[in-house]
Amino acid sequence: KFIDKVSYTWQTPSNIALVKYWGKSNPQIPKNASISFTLNNCHTITTIDFERKRFSESKKVDFDLFFEGKEKEEFKPKIASFFKRIQEYCPYIFEYKMTINSENSFPHSSGIASSASGLSAIARCLMSLESKINPNLSSEFINKKTSFLARLGSGSASRSIEGPLVVWGNHPEIEGSSDLFGVKFSNKVHPIFNNYQDVILLVDKGEKQVSSTIGHGLMHNHPYAENRFQQANENLSKISKILQDGNIKEFIDLVESEALTLHAMMLTSNPYFILMKPNTLEIINKIWSYRKENKSNICFTLDAGANVHVLFPENEKEKVLQFIDNELSNYCQKKQYICDTVGLGAKQI
């Protein structure tokens, strides 16, 4: 049953992988399973106004795009190719003229990947329309299909619908896991990981020299690729146990090793590239000394860039925030960092 005019607004988060996805085959099928913390404060809020086309109007996908109040022609090709990829699963998008209004909670071009939150927000608005057209859809189906669609926009976006932990990629030990969509990590997690903190240090806010699409591509014919995919799947088994047992020392080892291995894959690609900056390494060394000197459980992870995510349990918040403000912020551009915590996923507004 088609509706003439309707609009939906969703807030969807960014996420930070603990076991990394790096390498894929078509169409956006990951070479290994990954798991991430869903974030809370770093999010996108997107409204889509859907207006039913008149009978005589063209049945081409038709949308306008506004980002932070301004029309953004330069973002349109990415969204247009996303719609092209999903149109066979959402044929109703041909029936509507869409006006998309989007804003991010984090500073524009802060070097934080906005594709995960941005594309999951569009996917979630589309699924609201779909469930209006077909009111019998279960919430489980809606979550899975939202993640499925988001994945076709950006792989990691498939992990930005639910929280606090999401697995994407088929894995024998994760019930219901799939290469096609993310699923909530459903085992009971130890309370040490409740409300886990993530402070994102903005080391370099510039455009990345090598996009993640190119980076994933360089895993084809990479000499270490097969071992890496196997290692990631093994790390997923390990972290699944660690998250349940609360073995924080093992958590730290695994998470930091995953971050450095991701960058090691970049260092050993052909052509090779380096996304870390000197300040990324300064920060890592500072984190290691702080951990030792203060018997702390702070650790770091990295995504495909120079920024550092500082992860720590909530009970260390006060002391670690002081350390970040007094010391680590000196290695950030304009001393900027973003305080975040683990969150629960998409919210309708």
Interface with ligand PMV by CB under 6 A: which residues? 17, 20-22, 34, 113, 115, 154-156, 212, 216, 262, 303-304
Give min distance, CB of 163 to ligand PMV, in A: 15
Q: Which is nearer to ligand PMV, 46 or 160 (CB)?
A: 160
d(CA 218, CA 46): 32
| CB 113 to ligand PMV: min, Å | 6
349: number of CA atoms within 13 Å, CB side? 14
Q: How many residues does the chain have?
A: 349
Amino acid at 137: L
H or E segment at 310? strand 308-312
State which residue, 156 or 333, has the beta carbon closest to ligand PMV.
156
If the CB atoms of residues 154 and 307 are measured against ligand PMV, the closer one turns out to be 154
Q: How far is the CB of 131 from ligand PMV (least distance, A)?
A: 26
- Least distance from ligand PMV to the Cβ atom of residue 95, Å: 29
Whose Cβ is closer to ligand PMV: residue 155's or residue 313's?
155
Residue number, 156 or 307, with CB nearest to ligand PMV: 156
Instruction: Find the DSSP H helices in the chain.
Output: 76-86, 115-133, 139-153, 212-217, 225-245, 248-267, 278-294, 317-326
| 273 token code pair | 């590239």
Name the residue nearer to ligand PMV (CB basis): 163 or 320: 163
Considering the complex, what minimum distance in angstroms separates the CB of residue 168 from ligand PMV? Answer: 8
User: Least distance to ligand PMV from the beta carbon of 349, Å?
Assistant: 24
Q: 278-311 b/e with 16+ CB inside 10 Å = b?
A: ebbebbbebbeebbeeeebbbbbbbbbbbbbbbb
CB-count burial class (<10 Å; 0-12, 13-18, 19+) for 31: buried
| 123: nearest Cα among 34, 15, 46 | 46
